[in-house]
Structure 1
Amino acid sequence: MNFQDGQRRSGIAGLFRVVLLSLAALCGAQNACAEDIEPLLAYGARIAGDDARTRVVIDFDKKPVFSIHYVANPVRIIIDLPETAFGLKPEDLEARGLFNDIRYGGMGAGSSRIVLTASKPVGVALAEVKADESGKGFRLVVDAEFVTQDRFSKLLEKQKWTTVATTTKTGRLAEAATSDGSFVIAVDAGHGGIDTGAIGVVTKTEEKKVTLAFAEEMAAALNKEAGVKAFLTRSKDEFLSLSQRVQLARQNGANLFISIHADTLKQKDIRGATVYTISDKASDHLAANLAERENLSDQIAGVALETEPADVADILIDLTRRETQAFSVNLARSVVSSFEGQIKLINNPHRYAGFQVLRAPDVPSVLLELGFLSNKEDEKLLLDPKWRSKVSERLVDAVRHYRNGALANGG
């Protein structure tokens, strides 16, 4: 080795030692800083909601920076946090609503995680940090909603995992279907899955099959109208809770919600179509009894009724906004008017009661009883494709008149 080679290698070795010393000093400084940083303290939490919407609230002593991700099989919402000490009681985050399991703890390397596991597809509608009322702490609020499998798959596809938790707020969930200015109609086939609904007196046909067949035909007829976009809350034989049906309508930006049914009555001679709107007080005993039976759908499938704690009850919006009710009544009247002289109607065809499936606070909603499977004549018509087609045409006419009236009034 000549002198120049030796000098060059000596210089490189010296530079290497300088780099190592610099890195060591930097690491030492970072470790010292890390030791000085106290972990977050999560000192309180609460959860409220049902199987359509659930809110999780966690109290921190300092402002948390967080990120949210989705994982499938099973469906999970992952909330990543900086190192956090969880001073929570077991009952503070006891799984309920959309979630059947909730876990939290350290992940090592100065990070912690909360894992919310759901039995059905979910999406985060809102996630944000707010200062609490005392001004001394901060509150992480996460609102989750039931979504379709297709929507959840899209959430999985577009997310970007990152090791740096910088997300502070997410946007409201909204389907792309509402972005083109269409008049959107949610067509809800009543019952489904384990909840068969009523049974035909002659053919023993299940109500869930009658409602789905009609809903498919009705949606197809509506979609032929210019500027109208109809979709089904369920397109197969599956159970959806009453809350989930309402949630799907709101997520898709529905301008109308029409729930299709074909019930049974003890009085076999009663027949004809009926249109119902929501009200705290029922119009009559028949409406009250029907609403009570329809509201049992969730219990048939084992969906527990939840009572919300007062401090987070704002997740469930007021069910009886006057403006929406007025629009619902207008829609019901339009349906009755379109049916008159064309489709057999029950006496006093517009009735009202406390139907839970009509509770969307911002979507005019009606429940249409096509007829009664307890009546032989009605049952025969309900299974007749030509009759279903005629009813669909009348409903399209009713929606057309309702929409024109709403547009004329600036709605």
Structure 2
Amino acid sequence: MRATANVVRSLWATATLRRAARSLAVLFALVAAQPSPGMAADEEAPLLAFGARIAGDDARTRLVIAFDRKPDFSIHYVADPVRVVVDLPETSFGLKPESLEPRGLFNAIRYGGVGAGASRLVLSANGPTEITEAKVMPEEDGSGFRLVLDAERIDRGRFERLLNEQQWKGTGRAVKADRPAAPPPKAGTFVIAVDAGHGGIDTGAVGATSKIEEKHITLDFARVLAETLNREAGVEAFLTRDRDEFLSLAQRVQIARQGNAHLFISLHADTLRQKDIRGATVYTISDRASDHLAAELAQRENLSDEIAGVAIESEPPEVADILIDLTRRETQAFSVSLARNVVTSFEGQIKLINNPHRHAGFRVLQAPDVPSVLLELGFLSNEEDEKLLLDAEWRKKVSGLIADAVRRYRQAAVANGG
């Protein structure tokens, strides 16, 4: 009898703890959802997703996500590879990573912001998949609402009909970069676009020890670099993104060109399977990769749009114009010159990878008229590099070295009539 009573008490205590934990989560959700002091009365705070679970097999899978308020949503499909895209209003995701570990029909699940006022859940599927039922239900205890998504495996023909029937083309506000037209720079001003890689739903790599996301590393460094460059006489540097937002690769190029940039510097801090590899690398664009490592890195970086659920449309064939070809060649030559100047500045000052100037087909470096480089500051998979990437003094030092490289590049370009 005593044992039975102990079991009852244990069960009661467990249930009580579960209810308390749920109430605490809801309390945090409600607090986080309150408008900030500077928010206008008619400006609604972001939704808050505070819980999730997933279950199923390779035929059917169910996802459930708990929100503090009733979420509006829309569902779309993207092919090659198959992805299910769930668009939401701006949402703060307070989810434990393990709560949406991919399983069943899905091999990867990502979520995050994709632009002003918009967030997105991207479900990468193992094959043709359809959301057969999607509904929002109030929680029984009144703590919020849950979005329930039931997915089923379907044949290719059915999936192609879904693609053809939907009006969504992977564009619109979810991937729109709201940028006012940049005024023409003052005569003689040297304009530099500083591009913080990744952002929003595209978190990039994750630190081996700190677990910090690459998108935060690159933005922190971009701010310091832009500030350093702006102290140079006659230089004006601007950021392609100044907050945690998603920009497609094409948008980054477009922002640089619309900003009348003379240079484009894209910042990254990737991870590698070989954790002993460390040091900075400077990449320029080429239709052929210089080595296997460069090819692998370019392939991963070019997946940024795919990760965010953007439908990648084939680019229209360019006009066969010899002037365009000459412009590309000249731009590429300037890009190589900039890369070499950066390597020269870094030598003996910071750790460089072997053969630090490499090249591959990076889509973010494809502007035909803006010399561009992609700078791997170091690798978050290496503990020593990771410590440096988190060090404010190191960021200042490296930014100063990049500014020196840009100064020499600019002097040479002016001397050669560039």
Residue 179 of structure 1, CA deviation: 3.9
2:263 alignment partner in structure 1 = 256
Answer yes or no: is the 8 Å Cα contact 2:282–2:358 preserved in 1: yes
Query: Cα distance 1:284–1:120, how it changes in 2: closer, same or farther (>3 A)?
Result: closer
Query: Cα distance 1:227–1:200, how it changes in 2: closer, same or farther (>3 A)?
Result: same
The whole-number CA distance in structure 1 between the counterparts of 2:248 and 2:282 is 21
Query: Cα distance 1:313–1:298, how it changes in 2: closer, same or farther (>3 A)?
Result: farther
The whole-number CA distance in structure 2 between the counterparts of 1:119 and 1:198 is 22
1:163-182 to structure 2, matched below 5 A, reads 175-182=182-189
Answer yes or no: is the 8 Å Cα contact 1:207–1:263 preserved in 2: yes
Gaps of 5+ in 2: 1-116, 119-163
Residue 181 of structure 1, CA deviation: 3.2
For this pair of structures, how many residues does the alignment match? 253
- Secondary structure of the structure 2 residue equivalent to 1:348: strand
Residue 249 of structure 1, CA deviation: 0.2
TM-score (norm: length of structure 1): 0.58
TM-score (norm: length of structure 2): 0.57
Q: Deviations over 1:355-397 (max 9, x none)?
A: 0000000000000000000000000000000111100000000
Answer yes or no: is the 8 Å Cα contact 2:175–2:247 preserved in 1: no
Query: Cα distance 1:267–1:310, how it changes in 2: closer, same or farther (>3 A)?
Result: closer
1:354 alignment partner in structure 2 = 361
The whole-number CA distance in structure 2 between the counterparts of 1:254 and 1:375 is 33
Residue 378 of structure 1, aligned match among 366, 375, 385 = 385
Residue 392 of structure 1, aligned match among 399, 402, 413 = 399
Residue 334 of structure 1, aligned match among 341, 344, 348 = 341
1:113 alignment partner in structure 2 = none
1:306 alignment partner in structure 2 = 313
1:232 alignment partner in structure 2 = 239
Report the identity percentage: 71
Answer yes or no: is the 8 Å Cα contact 1:320–1:359 preserved in 2: no
Query: Cα distance 1:334–1:311, how it changes in 2: closer, same or farther (>3 A)?
Result: closer
**Residues 1:198 and 2:205 are matched in the alignment:** yes
Residue 215 of structure 1, aligned match among 222, 241, 244 = 222
Greater radius of gyration (CA): 1
1:286 alignment partner in structure 2 = 293
Query: Cα distance 1:374–1:318, how it changes in 2: closer, same or farther (>3 A)?
Result: farther
Answer yes or no: is the 8 Å Cα contact 1:279–1:320 preserved in 2: no
Residue 175 of structure 1, CA deviation: 1.6
1:407 alignment partner in structure 2 = 414
The whole-number CA distance in structure 2 between the counterparts of 1:410 and 1:241 is 34
Answer yes or no: is the 8 Å Cα contact 1:192–1:208 preserved in 2: yes
Moved over 6 A (4+): 311-314, 317-320
**Residues 1:183 and 2:190 are matched in the alignment:** yes
RMSD: 2.6
Answer yes or no: is the 8 Å Cα contact 1:319–1:359 preserved in 2: no
Letter in 2 for 1:353: A
Residue 329 of structure 2, aligned match among 322, 329, 332 = 322
The whole-number CA distance in structure 1 between the counterparts of 2:217 and 2:345 is 22
The whole-number CA distance in structure 2 between the counterparts of 1:246 and 1:289 is 21
